[in-house]
Amino acid sequence: MFELFLLFFAIAVIAPLVIKYTTKPNYQKVAEKTELPPNLGIREDLHLQKSVRNMEKALPREFKEKIKRRYLSEHPKATEAYFEVVFYELQRFFIMCSLLNNVPMFSKKVDDIWHEMLMYTKEYEKFSAELCGEHIHHAPNDVVEPDPHGRAWFDFLYAKLFTFTDFTHIAWGSFFQNPLHYGFLQELNSLSIEELSKKYFRETANKETVTALLTKIKGDIKRVSHDKNPYTGLKVSPHSIDSAPILAGAMLYYSYNHYEDYDMHMAKLSPASNYYSGNTTACGSGCGNHRNDNGGHDSSCSSDSGSSCGSSCGSGCGSS
């Protein structure tokens, strides 16, 4: 009888533990199947090739291998495939840092590799100087706060700069959950490219890229201010790679024309997604505007004109 009890105990307690530690999490499986586009999946029409070359020069293979060895030793459950897809997203983040005054970090997965990278002080300083012209700062762990409009601006720019992969949503969480601030859109529309460049982009940023990006954004805003709703009756999957450009366009359209009921319109377009619980936690953001409790919105968005090339959150932020 006692032997039978031990057998049941083993099945009920030990077997689940064995399964838990021998079965790969779903995100590990996705990592292994994800195909990473060359040149960091940049949009070819934005003249980002120079930025990618600068990244490759600033981040040589030897440094990457050091980071990988350290990360895998500190995270024994992580696979090499998982490291590669997350490191790929970190490089995209650094490309954004090389362009913008301020880039909040919205992913704990990506931030974890950044932490390991920082351990190599001399190599990291050299990397920062070559890519950004100065130190790329990493904000302290204890400065964590909601930043829905910083996240909206991040999502919109990310979609403009890069193609999505099967791992993009796993790395950064759900995209297009929050509307772009209407006052900010008006500013993007009314200010000149030169004025916007000085206010939101770095002095050392690739001028061709900034000009092409802002020209495209201005053209998009002009179109959505005149067009009738092109998304009526359309249904898309929120995590499909092919859906990203459609959702980015819808994000801009509904932010401009239906700011107050943005969630409702985006939910109709993408019913499988939850547009009431976006991942908006970050550190070091320079944009403080948000919808208030009364359903309105503040207009306190300001750029971070400090000398840091980027900002980040620590272990408490982002998608895990």
Of the two residues 78 and 312, the one the predictor is more confident about is 78
With beta carbons less than 8 A apart as the criterion, state whether 105 and 313 touch: yes
Tell me what pLDDT residue 281 has: 66
Tell me what pLDDT residue 204 has: 92
Tell me what pLDDT residue 3 has: 59
| pLDDT tens string 80-102 | 999 999 999 999 999 999 999 98
Neighbours of 101 (CB within 10 A): 22
Per-residue pLDDT averaged across 216-233, rounded?
A: 92
| pLDDT tens string 118-172 | 999 999 999 999 998 888 888 755 556 788 999 999 999 999 999 999 999 999 9
Of the two residues 41 and 20, the one the predictor is more confident about is 41
Per-residue pLDDT averaged across 65-75, rounded?
A: 97
Tell me what pLDDT residue 295 has: 36
Per-residue pLDDT averaged across 181-196, rounded?
A: 96
Pairwise CA distance, residues 108 & 313, whole Å: 8
Which residue matches tokens 């301020």? 102
- CA-wise closest residue to 216 among 169, 255, 248: 248
Continuous H helices in the chain: 2-9, 15-22, 26-33, 49-58, 61-74, 80-99, 108-118, 121-132, 148-161, 168-172, 182-190, 193-200, 207-224, 244-257, 262-269
Can you read off the two tokens belonging to residue 253?
Answer: 């359209």
* CA atoms within 13 A of residue 286's CA, in its CB half-sphere: 17
Query: Which of the four pLDDT bands, split at 50, 70 and 90, describes residue 290?
Result: very low
- Name which of 191-200, 207-216, 262-271, 297-306 the model is least confident about: 297-306
Tell me what pLDDT residue 239 has: 79
pTM, two decimals, is 0.82
Tell me what pLDDT residue 304 has: 35
